[in-house]
A and B are shown apart, each in its own frame.
Chain A
Amino acid sequence: GEDVEQSLFLSVREGDSSVINCTYTDSSSTYLYWYKQEPGAGLQLLTYIFSNMDMKQDQRLTVLLNKKDKHLSLRIADTQTGDSAIYFCATRRDTGRRALTFGSGTRLQVQP
């Protein structure tokens, strides 16, 4: 079945860059997403990338996709304390089962 894996925890200092990594198994994934979840809140869509792209940049966020290795990463530049949250990677096909498949999330801790 489909599987999405993420590391559990990442700690960075304020002002540094953060890189959160994700690997997935479904080679038919068309869209790959990053969501942010703060305590007690729902999931906030940060950005997504089509599988035919290898990079997408949106302000402080850079998404890199290595389709051959099925590896997705999210880079947050100039990380702030407000970026502390859990970050979820998710994949979705464009045909058939179109639901999002999520990883278990990476907790990002930003130290002042």
Chain B
Amino acid sequence: EAGVVQSPRYKIIEKKQPVAFWCNPISGHNTLYWYLQNLGQGPELLIRYENEEAVDDSQLPKDRFSAERLKGVDSTLKIQPAELGDSAVYLCASSLGGGKAEAFFGQGTRLTVV
């Protein structure tokens, strides 16, 4: 069974440019998370989806970040415009939902803003 798939693995952009990350969760997983991991830190939640509904986006900087999960399957996270401080690893995770405990992570996208 395929795990959580993210693309691209690496992205280098100039500041003020837009960037988008894509995530395909494990088949059948209703819950999808986007996390931000700064160097030397643990992941921090940006947004959580239950199916296509964003149920927790309180940590998402909505002035420049947006996310969507239109059909309740794969998801896109966008930053526009990117700032130097956005350089980090963006992790996607999924779980079955319904209170199931296991959450599985993708390999992440390492963003460098120059």
List the 5 closest A-B pairs by CB distance, nearest first: A102-B42, A43-B105, A42-B105, A99-B45, A42-B107
Q: From A94, A100, A103, give the contact of B99 (CB < 8 A).
A: A94
Which A residues touch B25, using CB under 8 A? Answer: none
Q: From A40, A44, A48, A97, give the contact of B101 (CB < 8 A).
A: A48
Q: From A35, A48, A92, A102, give the contact of B44 (CB < 8 A).
A: A102
Binding site for B on A (CB under 8 A): 4, 31, 33, 35, 40-45, 48, 50, 88, 90, 92, 94, 97-105
Main secondary structure, interface of A, reads strand
Q: From A45, A94, A103, give the contact of B103 (CB < 8 A).
A: A45
- Can you add 8 more A-B contacts, CB < 8 Å, to A42-B107, A99-B33, A104-B42? A4-B42, A40-B110, A42-B106, A43-B43, A43-B105, A94-B99, A100-B93, A103-B42
Q: Which of B23-72 contact A (CB under 8 A)?
A: 31, 33, 40-45, 48, 56
Which A residues touch B6, using CB under 8 A? Answer: 42
Which B residues touch A104, using CB under 8 A? Answer: 40-42
Binding site for A on B (CB under 8 A): 4, 6, 31, 33, 40-45, 48, 56, 91, 93, 99, 101-108, 110
For the complex, what is the distance from the CA of A97 to the CA of B72, rounded to whole Å?
Answer: 19
Closest to A41 in B: B107
Quick check: A42 and B91 within 8 Å, CB to CB? yes
